[in-house]
Structure 1
């Protein structure tokens, strides 16, 4: 299950793990114009963990999901 919310400065997607045990904590993904953050509560440390990805990293991740094992460098197209 997941939710999508459009806030003032970001689109927020929350992924809820409904699978079989062991279940993971909810994952919140916030997409801003300059970066994407992933946040998940870590019950072992009793703290929220946060990862920030640049837009270039997001584009690389999206491309990597459709490629076989290897090392790649994507060419960035110049903006018009």
Structure 2
């Protein structure tokens, strides 16, 4: 039995799907009055895209990161404030 109300009470949720040419991760925000739309991350061989629907306009917003930018972001999440250059 699939009970969405039970799933929501378990805390933050996400899904992972493996398509032919990408791994797709969907981040599902907690239900609340300030809730944001779900975020979909598509990991391709040469880039990563991040998509989220704009609730006001209904338009899909999409950001594309190169693998180098993704590596920089990954490193930045664990560093203090400052300016850095990642070694190749």
Decide: shared fold, TM above 0.5: yes
| Structure 1: gaps of 5 or more residues | none
Q: Are 1:55 and 2:67 matched, yes or no?
A: yes
Q: What's the TM-score once normalised by structure 2's chain length? A: 0.83
| Structure 2: gaps of 5 or more residues | 1-12
Instruction: Give runs of ≥4 in structure 1 deviating > 4 Å.
Output: none
RMSD, aligned α-carbons? 0.9
- The structure with the greater share of residues assigned to helix is 2
Deviations 1:40-74 (A, max 9, x none): 00012220000000000000000000100000010
Q: Distance in 2 between matches of 1:29 and 1:16?
A: 11
Q: Distance in 1 between matches of 2:48 and 2:78?
A: 20
Q: What's the TM-score once normalised by structure 1's chain length? A: 0.91
Q: Distance in 2 between matches of 1:71 and 1:21?
A: 36
Q: How many residues align?
A: 76
